[in-house]
Amino acid sequence: MWTRARQMHLASLDRYAGSCLDFVLVASEPHSGPRRAKRAKKILSNQSRALPGYKTRSPWLVLAAALCSVAAMVLTSSDSSAQGAGQTAGTPPPFPTPPSSSPAGPLAYSCGVPAMPPAPGAAPQQAIFPEGQYPVLLPAKSLLGARNDLPNPFQPGVDFGELPTGRKWGSTASVTTGLDNTIWVIDRCGNSGAGGTTCGGASAGVNPIFQFDTSGKLLKTFGAGMFVSPHKLTADDAGNLWVADNGSHQIFKLDQSGSVLMTLGKKGVAGPGTDEFDAPTEVAVASNGDIFVADGHTGGGLAIGNARVMKFDKTGKFLKTWGKKGMGPGEFDVPHTIAIDSRGRVFVGDRQNNRIQIFDQEGKFIAQWFQFGRPSGMYIDKRNDTLYVADSESRDGRTNTGRFALAQTGYAFNPGIRRGIRIGSARDGSVRSLIPDPCSYPYASGSSMAEGVSVDAQGNVYGADFLMDVRKFVLTRGRQTN
């Protein structure tokens, strides 16, 4: 009983930490005005009330709440002090903002540069160099063997999607291509952030799911009130849509009108059981209808949270699971994306371990690949087994903002690699091209460019960005083939 109680407290702490992260993200949003403190406090209040131990005032939860409250006070007070030091309300942030005609959200062109500059006279945490004069450069090949000098046969990315009037992209980790060559996207209901309740509260009336033709024309949108914080959306061979909601710890199967056909997991319950998930990230469906779920966005770089693949039959009956938290073959640390190739092999993007692991459908380990970078998103074109891998997070401890951006846990540490979308073969692991992140090294913060990736029938690539954008990269030198 004590072990289970301790696990519940740890899960509570981790989810409350997610709420703190939501607070920080909200507090750092540009042009958010005086409402952001109120919105942040609402996030914390709603999340804490949903956690085990809230009613009994668990001492661990109280401690977490106290620490987060201190952080909240510091952040909100620093906002007013920064404004008093010259950063007045309405002052443009220190990065370009999208034009009003663009569907991109306000952080889309920021490269993760903090919206609030350091206070005048404050000592930087690390040295700052003039633009273009940073003395450390990326090598041709990363320390784990990912190439940075590959050709890029694509035009620069352009903001994609004709959104309803007044709607802008929120943070997103997901774009996928339907059987009819239409493009599906799911975002966090126009909000910046991940996990928590990005589609809750006032955002519950906002549609997060969109279908476009390849020109960006909006075909349909739906999903308001269905999700807590959706992570990734995939389409199966029958045209059904699958949503991993890591806010509610559930999986949803939908038809293309948004009707729910199946639900897996228990709403609001994170756990290790065979009928539970802990922040599931993505679904892949085999040709026979078997369902594979990457389960475990919680606790990256730590020793808590699920880290496994769960397998169900087409009716949702649990069949098996494999994997645990770790670094060895068959172990995972944030299995962030999952896909199946034409041979039926299961590819798992083991993000915190900076690798792709490949299994048969019974969980037998086949191989691990480091050459595609740190996988935030994957897409396999089964017509030719071309593998597209989005690396949005790789970084070392360097920035050129004067601030640190590497987590104390070492989360996202993958030195010597350029972020971007690497394209190669799911058959032999060769990598032939790279759409590089336009943000320059050293990277300013946790994520930039695509977390989700897909491709249309013409070979054009689509990237879904945590920094509130979806971009289309048009192929310029003919269809790539293996």
pLDDT recorded at residue 31: 35
pLDDT recorded at residue 336: 98
Residues 48, 172: one domain? no
* Selection from 272, 266, 246 nearest residue 186 by Cα: 246
**CATH number of the CATH domain containing 437:** 2.120.10.30
Mean residue pLDDT across the chain:
86
pLDDT recorded at residue 257: 97
Is 139 a domain residue?
no
Question: How many helices (H) and strands (E) would you count in the chain?
Answer: 3, 24
Considering only 75-79, 87-91, 244-248, 457-461, which range has the smallest mean pLDDT? 75-79
- For residues 38-55, give the mean pLDDT: 46
Residues 57, 180: one domain? no
CA distance 274 to 265: 9
DSSP annotation string for 168-219: ------EEEE-TTS-EEEE-STT-S-SSTTTTSGGGGGS--EEEE-TT--EE
Considering only 49-63, 125-139, 169-183, 190-204, which range has the smallest mean pLDDT? 49-63
Structure-block tokens of residue 396: 């070392």
Residues 288, 188: one domain? yes
Residues 201, 285: one domain? yes
Residues 424, 285: one domain? yes
Examine the fold and report which residue of 83, 102, 122 is the final residue of a domain before the chain moves on. Answer: 83
Is 122 a domain residue?
no
Is 12 a domain residue?
yes
pLDDT recorded at residue 120: 84
- For residues 279-285, give the mean pLDDT: 98
Residues 42, 178: one domain? no
Decide if 172 contacts 185 (C-beta within 8 A): yes
Residues 450, 361: one domain? yes
- For residues 274-298, give the mean pLDDT: 98
- For residues 395-420, give the mean pLDDT: 95
CA distance 455 to 459: 6
Q: 311-363 pLDDT, tens per residue? A: 999 999 999 999 999 999 999 999 999 999 999 999 999 999 999 999 999 99
Decide if 178 contacts 254 (C-beta within 8 A): no
Is 104 a domain residue?
no
* Top-confidence range, 15-19, 139-143, 405-409: 139-143
Structure-block tokens of residue 394: 């790789």
pLDDT recorded at residue 115: 86
Is 196 a domain residue?
yes
CA distance 231 to 234: 10
pLDDT recorded at residue 461: 98
Residues 30, 176: one domain? no
Q: Which domain holds residue 255?
A: 158-473
Is 397 a domain residue?
yes
pLDDT tops 80 at residue 50: no
Q: 422-457 pLDDT, tens per residue? A: 999 999 999 999 999 999 999 999 999 999 999 999
pLDDT tops 90 at residue 32: no
pLDDT recorded at residue 80: 32
- For residues 231-246, give the mean pLDDT: 98
pLDDT recorded at residue 90: 60
Is 150 a domain residue?
no
Residues 337, 234: one domain? yes
pLDDT recorded at residue 121: 86
pTM here?
0.84
Residues 314, 406: one domain? yes
Phi, psi of 442 (to 5 degrees): -80, 145
As for how many domains the chain has, the answer is 2
**Percent of the chain, pLDDT > 70?**
80
pLDDT recorded at residue 54: 40
Residues 334, 207: one domain? yes
pLDDT tops 80 at residue 14: no
- For residues 44-54, give the mean pLDDT: 45
pLDDT recorded at residue 34: 39
* CA distance readout (Å), 357 to 31, 303, 363: 41, 20, 11
* CA distance readout (Å), 29 to 35, 92, 151, 375, 420: 11, 12, 35, 26, 24
What confidence category does residue 281 fall into, taking pLDDT thresholds of 50, 70 and 90? very high
- For residues 287-302, give the mean pLDDT: 97
Decide if 190 contacts 206 (C-beta within 8 A): yes
pLDDT recorded at residue 87: 38
Residues 50, 170: one domain? no
pLDDT tops 60 at residue 71: no
Is 266 a domain residue?
yes
Examine the fold and report which residue of 83, 102, 133 is the final residue of a domain before the chain moves on. Answer: 83
pLDDT recorded at residue 418: 98
How many other CB atoms sit within 10 Å of the CB of residue 361? 17
pLDDT tops 90 at residue 242: yes
Burial classification of residue 129, based on how many CB atoms lie within 10 Å of its CB (0-12 exposed, 13-18 middle, 19 or more buried): exposed
What confidence category does residue 116 fall into, taking pLDDT thresholds of 50, 70 and 90? confident
Decide if 388 contacts 394 (C-beta within 8 A): no
- For residues 222-240, give the mean pLDDT: 98
Examine the fold and report which residue of 44, 67, 83 is the final residue of a domain before the chain moves on. Answer: 83
Decide if 375 contacts 349 (C-beta within 8 A): yes
pLDDT tops 60 at residue 140: yes
